[in-house]
Amino acid sequence: MELLVQQLANGLMTGSIYVMVALGIIITLNVLHVANLAHGAFVMLGGFVTYFLMSNHGINFFVALIVSFIVVGMFSVVVEKLVVRPCRIKGLSILVASVALVGVAFIIDELASLLWGLDPQLVTVPFGGQPIVIWGIHLSVLRLVIPFIGIVSIILLVLFIYKTKMGRALRAVAQEQEAASLVGINIDNTMSLGFAISCGLAAVGGGLLVQMIPIYTHIGLALIFKIFAIVIIGGLTSLPGAIATGYLLGIGEAMVSGYIGTGYRELFFFAAMMLILVIRPSGLLGRPLLR
Amino acid sequence: MKVISLLSSKFFIYGFLFTLGILLPFIIRSEYSIHLLILCCIWIMMTTGYNLLYGYTGPLSFGQAAFIAIGAYTSTLLVLNFSVPWPLGMLSGGVMAAIIAALIGIPVLRLTGVYFAFVTIGFGEVTRLTIINWESLTGGPYGIIEVPPMFESLTLTYIFVFLVMMFIFLVTHRIVHSRIGRAFVAIREGKDMAESIGINIVNYRLLAYIISAFLCGVGGAMMVHYLRYCYPELASIFLSVNLVLYTIIGGPGTFLGPAVAAFLFTLFPELFRFIGDYKPLLFGVILVVVIIFAPRGLGPIFRSLFSASIARIKSMKLAKAK
């Protein structure tokens, strides 16, 4: 019973991070029409920014997360303007533009390795060592804080997309670019905004990740595959699909590694992805969303 | 006049290049250069296959390294455990890769590009982790050392690899200029148009995927029999990205461009050793710059330069004849 609940908590932790990162992929895919294969690199950057702020400068956890959101978000705008926008202006296909982003991922990873070395880094438990005991089950504070932050950021993002004017602009651009520009939406700025939000979110995900597991400069490429599996299973355009799938697979992964063995985690993701592609290629909740 | 026309005929040029290729180890005589040439031949072979897939029919695969590893491990295990002769081992490595490609491709190639790219990334990663975790079969993260070599002599190895590469070059050339190849070109030039005249895009894509997987499998097997070391990182995304990089920089859908790019990119980072650690960084920068400034690759640019210079030589010849 204790193992079950603990793995459930672990699943909620990783699930929250998966969802935050996957939502970013969906936003870039629908608003900018590019598969952001460099997304993992932004997760890594966020993780390292948070790590340095907390470990070297002793800055508060929440402040560090917000700072990494802003820093990485601003950096991602530079990437958008230098790489994604020229690809769009030249009318390159979504695949070619995505390959350019693989190049970006390589550049970011390598520069980070040159700057910070190859050693894995981990923030040493920010919230005391004392676990909380609920009905005789021990849970560390971290296992409660991370899902909480995750859920709060997901709710904030959904509110942003559906309730604010800028969110409406994002949805309009995703739906129909020309019509959006006809009603006075600045397409370029909206796309930059979309990219920045999605990468900033990835950075917060990285900031949470670095509290749980040691991260290294090449973690992005290893992580991105799981995220894409979630995006495919949830349906490439569906926000609720990604949220549901992210938590489902996060919990499923924790169960697999708890009861079968950690070596089978990736296989679990891949099997789930192939199964969905055979049975229901449009994904669990695949329908045109962001509309 | 007859001599000149013979000298400039295609047959002669190719024959000359072919002989030069075979004689190269006797001319250079430096072991390290021959080592590089062997690697070049293997990469050219795999890139040619990848070009059939991405360059001609369009699906972008980030997981070809999985087939490299599958071919490598299949051949290694067959040769080590069942003492199969190594040429047969290589062939079965390629066949194994092709079978697995068919199993993956049949469900996935029905879908559009992004799906396929995502799935292949996953496939490469899963293959790598499976190899690492299946220790009883694959030796786990440390790999298998002392893989039986092809030939003891380096020169002989080079000649064998070169001949195989040439053979595969000829075969892919035949494929590109056959009925299948015309379908490939039709798909490259316009997917919807090709479909409207009755070309089954999914089947042709699957065919290209299987061919390229086969070549990657054979290439991977060659690589481990040559390097005598079989390790899980053969399936890492870096090797897959190499293929994507060579093809895109060389010019997807041109026959020679990707091969030339594979040759140059295998050779140069080794010749300029100071690049060393910066290799992935350099590759990233080149990839981004080429895609933004020359999205059709460098092949077409060189081709127009080349045909321009040929035309100039011809006009000079004409002037002389007069």
DSSP class per residue in A252-283? HHHHHHHHT-GGGHHHHHHHHHHHHHHH-TT-
Amino acid identity of B244? V
Cα B24 to Cα B22: distance, rounded to the nearest angstrom? 6
Among A32, A68, A186, A48, residue whose Cα is nearest residue A122 = A48
CB-count burial class (<10 Å; 0-12, 13-18, 19+) for A56 = exposed
Cα A280 to Cα A202: distance, rounded to the nearest angstrom? 28
Q: Give percent above pLDDT 90 in chain A.
A: 33
What confidence score (pLDDT) does residue A181 get?
A: 86
Taking 80 as the threshold, does the pLDDT of residue A275 lie above it?
yes
Q: How much is the mean pLDDT over chain A?
A: 85
With left for phi above 0 and alpha for psi between -120 and 50, is residue A279 left, alpha or beta?
alpha
Q: In this structure, is the dihedral angle defined by the CA atoms of residues B194, B197, B202 and B203, taken in order, positive or negative?
A: negative
Residue B35 CB neighbours (<10 A): 16
**Could you identify the residue written with the tokens 């469900």?**
B107
CB B182 within 8 A of CB B62: no
Among B268, B267, B262, B236, residue whose Cα is nearest residue B249 = B262
Chain A residues 236-275 within an 8 A CB cutoff of chain B: 236, 263-264, 266-267, 269-270, 273-274
B-chain residues within 8 Å CB-CB of A94? Answer: 113-114
Cα B145 to Cα B23: distance, rounded to the nearest angstrom? 31
Helices and strands in chain A, H and E counts: 13, 2
Q: What is the pLDDT of residues B143-189, one digit of tens each?
A: 888 888 888 888 889 999 999 999 998 899 898 889 998 898 888 88
CB B221 within 8 A of CB B22: no
Of A117-126, B124-133, B249-258, which gets the smallest average pLDDT?
Answer: A117-126
CA distance A194 to chain B (A): 19
Which residue would you say has higher pLDDT here, B310 or B84? B84
Taking 90 as the threshold, does the pLDDT of residue A116 lie above it?
no
CA distances to A229, B69, B219 from B125, rounded to whole Å, are 12, 11, 19
Taking 80 as the threshold, does the pLDDT of residue A47 lie above it?
yes
Helix (H), strand (E) at residue A133: strand A132-134
SS3 state at B199: coil
Partner residue facing A263 (CB), from B60, B62, B133: B133
Taking 80 as the threshold, does the pLDDT of residue B299 lie above it?
no
Nearest CA in chain B to A87: B292
CB contact under 8 A, B122 and A87: no
Residue B318's φ and ψ, nearest 5 degrees, are: -60, -45
CA distance A229 to chain B (A): 7
Cα B76 to Cα B86: distance, rounded to the nearest angstrom? 8
Q: Which two tokens stand for residue B320?
A: 């002389």
What confidence score (pLDDT) does residue A206 get?
A: 92
What is the DSSP secondary structure assignment for residue B148, as one 8-state letter? P
* HSE-up of residue A78 (Cα within 13 Å, Cβ side): 8
Over range B64-90, report the average pLDDT.
92
Amino acid identity of B76? T
What confidence score (pLDDT) does residue B6 get?
A: 64
- B30 contacts: CB under 8 Å, gap ≥ 6: none
Global pTM value = 0.86
Q: Give percent above pLDDT 70 in chain B.
A: 93
What confidence score (pLDDT) does residue A127 get?
A: 64
A-chain residues within 8 Å CB-CB of B108? Answer: 274, 277
What confidence score (pLDDT) does residue A291 get?
A: 36
Answer yes or no: is the ipTM higher than 0.85. Answer: no
CB contact under 8 A, A100 and B292: yes
CA distance B28 to chain A (A): 35
CB B280 within 8 A of CB B269: no
Q: Give percent above pLDDT 90 in chain B.
A: 27
Cα A116 to Cα A252: distance, rounded to the nearest angstrom? 33
Cα B98 to Cα A79: distance, rounded to the nearest angstrom? 38
Over range B21-44, report the average pLDDT.
86
CB contact under 8 A, A99 and B118: no
**Angle, in degrees to the nearest 10, between helices B201-227 and B154-176:** 170
Nearest CA in chain A to B106: A278
Helix (H), strand (E) at residue B13: helix B10-28
Give the distance from CA A108 to its chain's centroid: 17
CB contact under 8 A, A266 and B248: no
